[in-house]
Structure 1
Amino acid sequence: MTTPHRHAQHDDRVIRAAREVFAEQGFAAPMAEVAKRAGVGVASVYRRYPSKHELVEQVRIAAFQLMLDEAERARAEEPDAWAALVRFMRRCLREGSGIGTVLPPMDPQHVYSDRFRDLQQRLATAIEHLVTAAQQAGELRTDVDWTDVLLLFKHLNPRLPTSEHRRAELRARYLGLVLEGLRPGGPELPGPAPDRAEWQALCDNLATT
């Protein structure tokens, strides 16, 4: 008899393998490669995730939860608001974080679960709190929005044909440059930040005008 604990272990292995395979090979990678990396049978993967988009949704859910945990720990443990924001961004992009992974654009035809949408919105709120606190402390430029921070993760983490170790080194390098640009006193940023509606449309891979 399969226990819930064994189910969770199986899911963790598959999600971790999918994250690695999609980062290395792109979304075209076969499910058989994910199963091989996870050390499970292809049939068992398909029983849990009947389509590749459902598997990708679970990879995203895992990433949302990790990011939310990082945001909450940073707010609770860091001595000031800027340190909390910096810690959050660095840990989300560190090597092996399980967060900094390139995934395909969200499929507008796929119906995402309530859990997915709930975590997506909770994460947005947590990042908004980090950004607002750093601005109120005078440590973050006032023309930066929480949506900018979320979209920066996409820019800082392109899919590159190299190892995760090297990708993480490059993420850390360019994050260092970005953090300097987030400090107050620089020239005004061109163009407005995305509002919540535009951010949602961009996340959902929908056309915006």
Structure 2
Amino acid sequence: MATAKAITLAWSGASGAQYGLRLLQCLLAAQCSVSLLISRAAEVVIETETPYRLPNEAEGLEARREYLREALNTEDGELVLYGRDDWFSPVASGSSAPRSMVVCPASGGTLSSLASGASNNLIERAGDVALKERRQLILVPREAPYSQVHLENMLKLTQMGAVIIPASPGFYHQPKSIEDLVDFIVARVLDQLGVDQRLMPRWGEEDR
């Protein structure tokens, strides 16, 4: 039996919570093992942009995990949540962290922290681990317009080996809903991760 693909997924405080939620749903449906990290700002964005209300920290990580599974209607894959300051979690160490990490959505503050090597919380530390170990790090920023600082940080991170996928969906697939636009970006992330996806045909596939 093939080993499940292990991925660290982080949600930071940029707008675009739908991208992160949909990506999690697709990763679990693909039988991936997901280590999920959620910033405080991401929780605010989720409550602002979606109908979801995560259990508070006092209710525990297991309550959050079960809530997300039910909300996203998936019992597939493996989902483990870690607290913001859980420095003993596998994602905090190069010896045990998954070989792929995605920050979706990625805030400007997260880009800045990763570009400067800050490790003030578990998301930043996990990203720092991915960069120092030369592992796959995918960042999905959602901002408009980009400032010079944003652009400089994205260039710096690209030079470090990260892949930047801006949350800028295309329209050549003639989207008919917001969900189609979300799936466009999620499909590109899944392609980068090497996770099979049927959300969106690649260019020219429909013609063939």
Select the structure that is richer in strand.
Answer: 2
Q: Do Structure 1 and Structure 2 share a fold, with TM-score over 0.5? A: no
TM-score normalised according to structure 2 size: 0.27
Select the structure that is richer in helix.
Answer: 1
TM-score normalised according to structure 1 size: 0.27
Rg comparison, structure with higher value? 1
